[in-house]
Structure 1
């Protein structure tokens, strides 16, 4: 990264940090762009150049969030079923207490819960996450599955699956994903620590994945071992 790009990233982070602090202190709806600009010591135009929407100042990891499930499918290991890759990715994020899956801390979680605007934006981002996953699943089942050596899997995706199958799978997977996200937020607001939330979510996530596996079957999940 060059010096110019590094400076831009630094300014963006500064604006985001100032905005988050003000949103938590004052509430999202009550905080203005002018106040954020003043706190960051930049012009209002600079704020809007970096963040097209006020909501993006609070939910500034939205691109990582919307593309996360799709990326897990697209970058899965050779021969790995999509649902297996998604389960592995979620387990990793859970153990790392990743904000993208809901570990935001109580102050931030309360700020989002108290804002109708942010709640609506979060629903929109979940919808975009589902659309991206549907596209990734469509691509996944359109390509014959291979094993680790690159050999075609004789039990690969069936061509008789209806065209709506990837979208239906994405809808079910994302419904579970939303539920887990809400659970983390609920437990955060209830005063649980991140470690306590992790311990609670591991068996719950495993249960949901088993339900999804039974509902979806091949080619979205591997057969039980």
Structure 2
């Protein structure tokens, strides 16, 4: 019981620090705000902040773990008879159609992206996260298909599926930064998804089809 309470308190403290830091970054910019500023605003020590977040970039991309695992999670959860590409396309369409904040369809997203564009360390971290997404997906595809270590297909397919994801995310980000209506952006992105699917080969569309258990 006591252990559970301690863990919950740690999670709550971590989340509070992250929320306060995000507010400061959006208000003042990433480069201007220091770890000391975050610690003071959160009423904790600098060491406490570093215990939860080894780098300042971790404070801004606090939820990156869910993003890194997103495509792999979708592929692992694909239905019987569904390929990896079909699962990713279906999930992307569902998120876009639902005008989900998870794909950037949220008011204020322009402020979030502005902070990234103005801070080279954040741009570098975002690129690294995007690469992690592809590497994680490649490993998942290799595991799901039982492909040999020297089989290039998991790498090639992961690149194609990551292209779908990054194109959608980038298109939405640019539109939201431009102040576009999110419902309108959602409709246009669904059309874009159809066009991108039309560019994929049969080999990509039929890779890693889940068989019956």
TM bucket, shorter chain: 0.7 to 0.9
Deviation track 1:120-160 (CA, whole Å, cap 9, x = no partner) reads 110000000000111111122228xxxxxxxxxxxxxxx9x
* 1:146-165 to 2 correspondences below 5 Å: 163-165=151-153
Q: Which residue is 1:116 aligned to?
A: 120
Q: Which residue is 1:169 aligned to?
A: 157
Deviation track 1:171-214 (CA, whole Å, cap 9, x = no partner) reads 12212321211111100110013222211111112221232244
Q: Please state how far the C-alpha of 1:164 moved relative to its aligned partner.
A: 0.3
Q: Which residue is 1:218 aligned to?
A: 206
Find 1:139's aligned residue among 143, 160, 164: 143
Find 1:57's aligned residue among 35, 56, 59: 59
Q: Which residue is 2:80 aligned to?
A: 78
Q: TM-score, normalised by structure 2?
A: 0.87
Q: Which residue is 1:22 aligned to?
A: 24
Q: SS at the partner of 1:60?
A: coil
> What are the ranges of 5 or more consecutive residues in structure 2 without an aligned counterpart?
none
Q: 1-side partners of 2:57 and 2:197: how far apart?
A: 31
Query: What RMSD in Å do the two structures reach over aligned CA positions?
Result: 2.2
Higher RCO (C-alpha under 8 Å, 6+ residues apart): 2
Q: Please state how far the C-alpha of 1:60 moved relative to its aligned partner.
A: 1.0
My pick for the range that moved more, 63-72 or 4-13, is 4-13
> What are the ranges of 5 or more consecutive residues in structure 1 without an aligned counterpart?
144-158
Query: What is the aligned residue count?
Result: 205
| Structure (1/2) with the larger helix percentage | 2
My pick for the range that moved more, 114-123 or 192-201, is 192-201
Q: 1:90 to 1:180 in 2, by over 3 A?
A: same
CA contact (8 A) 1:20 1:58 kept: yes
Q: TM-score, normalised by structure 1?
A: 0.83
